[in-house]
Amino acid sequence: MGGTIEIPIWLAVLAGLFALVAVLDKLLLPSVRWYFHKRFNRAVERLNTKLQLKIEPFKLTRRKVLIDRLSHDPVIMEAIAKEAADSGTPPEVLAEKAHKYAREIVPHFSAFAYFGFAAKAARWLSQSLYRVRVGTLDEAGMAKVGPDSTVVFVMNHRSNMDYVLVTYLAAERSALSYAVGEWARVWPLQGFIRSMGAYFIRRKSRNSLYRCVLARYVQMATEGGVAQAIFPEGGLSRTGKLGEAKLGLLSYIVKGFNADGARDVVFVPVGLNYDRVLEDRVLLAARGEGKPKFSSGPMAVLRFIRHQIWLRITGKYHRFGYACVSFGSPVSLKGYLAAHEGALEEQIAALGANLMEDIGRVVPVLPVSLIASIMLEAGSLSKIGVKGAAHRRLKGYAARGVYSHIPREDEDYAVDVGLRMLEMRHILSEDDGVYTVVDENREVLEYYANAIAHLG
């Protein structure tokens, strides 16, 4: 009974380490977590004093808590019970699927990642590639948006740069939550995008349970006041034209909206345009097909970066022209529903159509789109003829309240910019002062003319 037991020294050290970890976990780590959590809350409070649209508590809730709340939501539980009764699948199996969908959708927002890195990186990238300009901005309308309103920016979708550009321009107002497609679910991009508050969606999924989980997350985020940005067209325009609204996310927001509640939902139309869309030829090649195939593997990206660095070193680097964003007048969902009677589905369809019209009205006219529309109609024209046509068109746009970005407030310089960019890309050719459309690149010219075709 009183014998001695010998244990190896490594086992004694290991046991001591486990004991130390247990002590730290019980005594020290809670205090450390409390300290950093308190500092984080103070940082968010300071940040909110600078933002017009505050970061709401919902956005800062721990991801695990949001996943549990979503997967156990009464609406989800009811959908599970219904599908179990219809299909004969055990409720436990469907509940596990719902939990999986929730883990897939729910983001993990980090204010540090968003404002400390993403917004700054978005600014650097946007300004490195383009001369970024803000067109119209209804400051008076934005000032009237109530502090308890959920703001949803609705935008036309021209390029994957849209995410970057609007993140940069909206960073002084709020942290935006995007719905992103399955293209972004790759390592290590997936974790970074989640930390920015974006949520992943399966755009082509027709699974009713998945759609129910997605709808409830969008509704919970809207109820929680999360500022969002959505693309009603659903995907990138492959022709350059403004498309019709796909009502998926919009219908989720409207169907979950309580018109008698304290919180309003305010839609802000956003129009984007570029002198050069990075994916233009890829999108044109994918017309009439399935998902566009982007050759954006690591080697392709490295080759692009290497080429841009070489151009900078040799002094031959030119940015891709102008990128311009205009913000239209806010649209109150409460006010809209009160003014438009009818069945809910009809109201949603009408709202989608009206928002696309609002977006179309604020799409800015840029030099390349302006010259493209003129040359597509003329086919061949002297520089003097181009300038005369541009002057007449710009005058007509101004009379209808359409914003045109005129660099240096000089129409002749704007024409020169548009002609030079199209000539550099071999879309136009010049011979003895006469510009002609290059036949093999006519569809590219149409793509840029289509960006403002709806403006007349």
Q: DSSP for 5-37?
A: ----HHHHHHHHHHHHHHHIIIIIHHHHHHHHH
Helix axes 63-71, 91-105, angle to 10 degrees: 140
Tell which CATH architecture fits domain 367-455: Orthogonal Bundle (1.10)
Residue the block writes with tokens 């960073």: 171
pLDDT of residue 363: 97
Q: What is the C-alpha separation between 372 and 431, in angstroms, rounded? A: 18
Tell me which DSSP letter residue 365 carries: B
pLDDT of residue 37: 47
Residue the block writes with tokens 């550009």: 165
Please check whether the two domains, 104-278+320-362 and 367-455, share a CATH topology. no
CA distances from 25 to 12, 14, 64, 96, 146 (A): 20, 16, 20, 31, 44
**Which residues of the chain have a pLDDT value below 70?**
1-7, 10-12, 14-15, 18-53, 55, 182-194, 288-305, 307-308, 316
Tell whether domain 104-278+320-362 is in CATH 3.40.1130.10: yes
Domain limits of the chain?
16-49, 104-278+320-362, 367-455
Q: For 453, left (φ over 0), alpha (ψ -120 to 50), or beta?
A: alpha
Span 27-61, pLDDT tens digits: 555 555 444 445 544 544 564 565 666 767 777 77
Whether the CB-CB separation of 167 and 148 falls below 8 Å is answered with no
User: Which residues 6+ apart lie within 8 Å of 434 measured at CB?
Assistant: 380, 381, 382
CA within 13 Å, CB half, 201: 23
